[in-house]
Amino acid sequence: MKFSVRILLLALLATTVAVAQNQYIKNVIVVIQENRTPDNLFQALCTGSNCGTGSNQFNLQSYGQCLYNNSEQNVSLLPLGIEGNCADPGHFHSDWTAMYDGANGHYMDGACNDSSTTCKPFKHACTFGSGLDCTRYSYVDNTSGVINPYLAIAQQYGWANYMFQTNQGPSFPAHQFLLSGTSAPDSKTAPLYADFAMDNPTSGSDDAGCAASNGSLETLISPTGDTSQQIYPCFEHATLTDLLDAANVPWRYYSGTPKGIWTAPNAIKHICNNDTNNDGCGTGNGSNSDWNNVFLESDNNLAPFLNDLQPPRSSFSNWAGGVIFVVPDAVWSDHPQKGVGLGPDWVANIVNAIGQSNCTSGNAPNWSNTAVLIVWDDWGGWYDHVNPIATIGGGNLGYPNGTGEQYVYGFRVPLLVVSEWVNDDSPLGGHISNVNHDSAAY
């Protein structure tokens, strides 16, 4: 089945890696990590002559801008452990707005004026102004080599300089965009939708979706920026998995907890398929069986290594080829404060499992037939120097059809692509893409 997922994913693949057109890619594995920007996580790539904006260079910057007393100040990015030392910068929509600082006409310089940082014994003090918090101007310290697996992948395979988060908010809507290209509550019956789900549900990170508790609410943002409307966090819009179903392309979704904000299918009514809010997904009498494609670590003991991609309830020995979504739990996710710095090892294990696969099935994931896309769901509150509105937005707010002014685009997020068919056309090895893309551009 030549390029079984080509129609759905080649737009992303082709602009990030050069795929040999006469080869077979039967599996695409999408690994979704948490809360980083290129400047924050990949600063160690920026050494010698491989920095800057050239076609074969990584576009990373070691300092940022802060508007203080009506003047621009340079703020050096400070090294910080990958676990964050308990520093978890706020990354709700209001944090994005403050960091971007478009209201004052000064762009990308508000990160020192937003101090909403959870649990912060660590504080990056701004040297030019008392009381300011520059913790957001940080990068992952690689003195111990903790992110070497990521650096090796970026240098040997596919790296995207300009992958932007589609929305300007945290994990719950970001994962909806990754699965569906939108966080609109109901774009099936209301295709001319105007509102987006904006932030995480009020009931917490483990109480989201169509099986959330009755008191769970999701805030919407209107085209005028009004955020007064709240709804139950259960949506009905088309998803990437619907397109896969229609094309008879198999898919599976591995995640942490049934009602977690990272388990995107739980917030889609026709996938969750439950009778009442508290029953849990998959308990309804509907004909849709897509929830059977969702495998949870809490049910299957999948963490930390997904049992080399062969979970107990199923085997890839009869896998027909398709798309596999992999979302780790917090420990392996790169999420600061919650994690312990094991994200690079988690990702390396998945890549190694593919490279070392001895599966006998011709469609089972292995090095000759699989592409691994490694994305990060949102920017996590960390600084990044590339202006999304000026770059992917072309200087304009919103999508080309005039919608989305209130909620697109977000800051850059990393994207890595691992495949045997990545062209080795950079002098540094691998392939560096300078095409502007957003993370929901499946």
For residue 62, what are the contacts with CB-CB under 8 A and spacing of at least 6?
39, 43, 46, 76, 77, 139
User: Structurally, how many domains does the chain consist of?
Assistant: 2
pLDDT digits (tens, 9 = 90+) for 367-379: 888 899 999 999 9
Q: H or E stretch including 438?
A: strand 437-438
Same domain, 167 and 282: yes
Tell me the CA distances in angstroms from 75 to 59, 132, 384, 413, one per residue in order: 18, 12, 12, 20
Task: Please say which residue of 140, 167, 201 terminates a domain.
Answer: 140
Same domain, 87 and 160: no
pLDDT at 338: 62
pLDDT at 308: 43
For residue 356, what are the contacts with CB-CB under 8 A and spacing of at least 6?
none
Same domain, 29 and 73: no
Say which CATH number the domain at 321 has.
3.40.720
pLDDT at 14: 41
Same domain, 294 and 377: yes
Which domain range does residue 217 map to? Answer: 6-42+147-438
Q: Per residue in 388-419, is it b (16+ CB within 10 Å) or e — as a string?
A: bbeebbeeeebeeeebbebbbbbbbbbbbbbb
Sign of CA dihedral 211, 212, 217, 220: negative
Q: Calculate what percentage of the chain has a pLDDT beyond 70.
A: 83
On whether the CB atoms of residues 300 and 283 are closer than 8 A, the answer is no
Task: Please say which residue of 112, 140, 168 terminates a domain.
Answer: 140
Does a structural domain hold residue 1?
A: no
Sign of CA dihedral 94, 256, 416, 245: negative
Average pLDDT, the chain: 82
Crossing angle (nearest 10°) for helices 343-355 and 148-156: 50
Same domain, 133 and 237: no
State mean pLDDT over 274-296: 79
Token representation of residue 344: 């690079």
Does a structural domain hold residue 349?
A: yes
Same domain, 307 and 230: yes
User: pTM of the entire structure?
Assistant: 0.91
Amino acid residing at 155: Q
Same domain, 59 and 177: no
Radius of gyration (Cα) for the chain, nearest Å?
21
Same domain, 274 and 234: yes
Same domain, 194 and 133: no
Task: Please say which residue of 115, 140, 165 terminates a domain.
Answer: 140
Task: Look at 321 and 298; give whichever has higher pLDDT.
Answer: 321
Same domain, 332 and 217: yes
Q: H or E stretch including 41?
A: helix 38-41
Q: What is the DSSP letter of 104?
A: T
pLDDT digits (tens, 9 = 90+) for 213-257: 988 999 999 888 899 999 999 999 889 999 999 988 889 898 888
* Res. 360: pLDDT tops 90: no
